[in-house]
Amino acid sequence: MAPTPGARVFTLDDARAKLPQIQQLTATAASRLDPLMQQLEGVHENAPEHPRLHDSITSIVTAWAEAIQDLGAEAKGLWLVDFDAGDGYYCWKHPEPTVSHYHGYDDGFAGRMKIV
């Protein structure tokens, strides 16, 4: 998948410098999401609380993705963040301690390679 036109281009140092803020946003969102996901698993789809739980989950994930985008990075999946490197992406997945992977634009998460 090609980069978003006008997307910010990150060096590895830029991505790593932005990571603490992204880790905090992600940890906060995940801690809010986890109990709701557990509740949703125990609720039948037709139960009255199902839509409320689903909407709350969607709201948390959407707000997280928008906050990631506001920082110039891209949310590519649940707790998965890509930083456009100009020729592919530096890739981080919660709870990894640092940005330590890279993949080409068309490779996706499955094509991640460890940065050495």
pLDDT tens digits for 57-79? 999 999 999 999 999 999 999 99
Residue type for position 20: P
pLDDT (0 to 100) of residue 35: 96
> Per-residue pLDDT for 101 more than 70?
yes
The residues pairing with 114 across neighbouring beta strands, listed in sequence order, are: 101
pLDDT (0 to 100) of residue 7: 72
Q: In the numeric block, which tokens belong to residue 62?
A: 């959407």
pLDDT (0 to 100) of residue 5: 60
CA atoms of 60 and 39, how far apart (whole Å) = 15
pLDDT (0 to 100) of residue 6: 61
Report the percent of the chain where pLDDT is more than 90.
89
> Per-residue pLDDT for 3 more than 60?
no
CA distances, 101 to each of 61, 77, 84 (Å): 23, 15, 12
pLDDT (0 to 100) of residue 9: 96
CA atoms of 7 and 50, how far apart (whole Å) = 37
Neighbours of 44 (CB within 10 A): 8
pTM exceeds 0.85: yes
**CB contact at 8 A, 81 and 19:** no
